[in-house]
Structure 1
């Protein structure tokens, strides 16, 4: 089933009151799935904004890639930092745990907690780990803020690069 999404209207996780309040107030599972979906859309928008402005090519690459592929492509193109890449990959692991386990998957689960505590950005500012849910929120705020900042400053690649190439020379 293909659900029509209004991704083009989406700016960021924390600037969308309904989504952000859902992350804060709904279940941990819902918060993780919502945050990861929102950040994945932001990666998609980064790719669409940066790649040569050929609608069919850039849209296909951005929309048809998996979350993991979007993370790696954004990193390879210099659109996200290594710390952001690591935290997005950690979020992907947390998301997969919540998406594929019906029972016993919450922030107190030792495996999930291990991944949550592996988030690098909140650790970089020495954010306390005594409240794991708040630690998760801070990580998501930091990722959201970084990606949103990048989206406001990104310049697309030129459609006609000067390759200075002459065949047969």
Structure 2
């Protein structure tokens, strides 16, 4: 499991850093704001992944950094989503923020959030709408928690300009990623056990196959229950209407057909018996 003390210290560090970075970003040009904002979110994503991976000091050298597999913001974003560390909406939001940053970085004729190519993407940012709650923001502010304000008030997302909307999205994503960091620390991966011998390998294979057999049987039982339920629905429908229910009838054309499941090409029972024999032979030879 992850080191709780390290994760707590890191979260406190992020909270303190976030307040100062917000103030610094407010003084930046539009281009500087876009570039520095994504740099900050990139650091958060990297720490989410690093805290989720198994403990290995070499990851910083082999995975992160320039020309490494996870050297770009996009690669960190895609892997974080693939591992379930961020949600679909968060992936979409971060990807839009990334594209806005890229436009500023690669097109020097674009220097303002009011340019159409930038403004359109800012209007597509969803998090400001999803997390808009001025009443709750007032509660947070009363407790000394810094909440983004525009002109001294909590504007509706629809009233925000492109830059304001970008800032609101970045601020909220920073908080979300700090939460995701805490979750990734809690669910840190652990190293797989090494197989000590051939017997150990087949013993684990047998254990897995027996688990698969139980899982398959549960699925078969659920399928039978579902078919029975559908059959009762069909009978009830026909009794009430006097009409033949043709759509459901297709399900029962073959009494032995488990429509909702695909049977394995090799039966689980047969596979387990074979593995048991192999394991018995190996065990007897070991003695």
Q: What is the TM-score of this pair, normalised by structure 2?
A: 0.50
SS of match in other structure, 1:26: coil
Looking at secondary structure, tell me which structure has more helix per residue.
Answer: 2
Render the CA deviation track for 1:127-158: whole Å, top value 9, x for unaligned. 22432222111101111000001112323101
2:84 corresponds to which of 53, 78, 100: 78
Aligned: 1:96 with 2:102: yes
The answer to whether the Cα contact below 8 Å between 1:129 and 1:135 also exists between their aligned partners in 2 is no
* Aligned-partner Cα distance in 2 for 1:38–1:93: 15
- Shift in CA distance, 58/26, structure 1 to aligned 2, threshold 3 Å: closer
User: Could you tell me how far 1:106 is from its partner in structure 2?
Assistant: 1.3
Question: What corresponds to 1:159 in structure 2?
Answer: 191
1:144 corresponds to which of 134, 153, 174: 174
Q: How many pairs are equivalent?
A: 160
Question: What corresponds to 2:58 in structure 1?
Answer: 56
1:105 corresponds to which of 107, 111, 118: 111
The answer to whether the Cα contact below 8 Å between 2:100 and 2:118 also exists between their aligned partners in 1 is yes
The answer to whether the Cα contact below 8 Å between 1:19 and 1:34 also exists between their aligned partners in 2 is no
Uncovered stretches (5+) of structure 2, i.e. residues with no partner: 1-9, 133-156, 195-200, 207-273, 276-287
Structure label with greater radius of gyration: 2
Question: What corresponds to 2:28 in structure 1?
Answer: 26
Higher relative contact order (CA 8 A, sep 6+): 1
Cα RMSD over matched residues? 2.6
The answer to whether the Cα contact below 8 Å between 2:104 and 2:110 also exists between their aligned partners in 1 is no
User: Could you tell me how far 1:159 is from its partner in structure 2?
Assistant: 1.0
Q: What is the TM-score of this pair, normalised by structure 1?
A: 0.82
* Aligned-partner Cα distance in 2 for 1:13–1:115: 28
The answer to whether the Cα contact below 8 Å between 1:22 and 1:30 also exists between their aligned partners in 2 is no
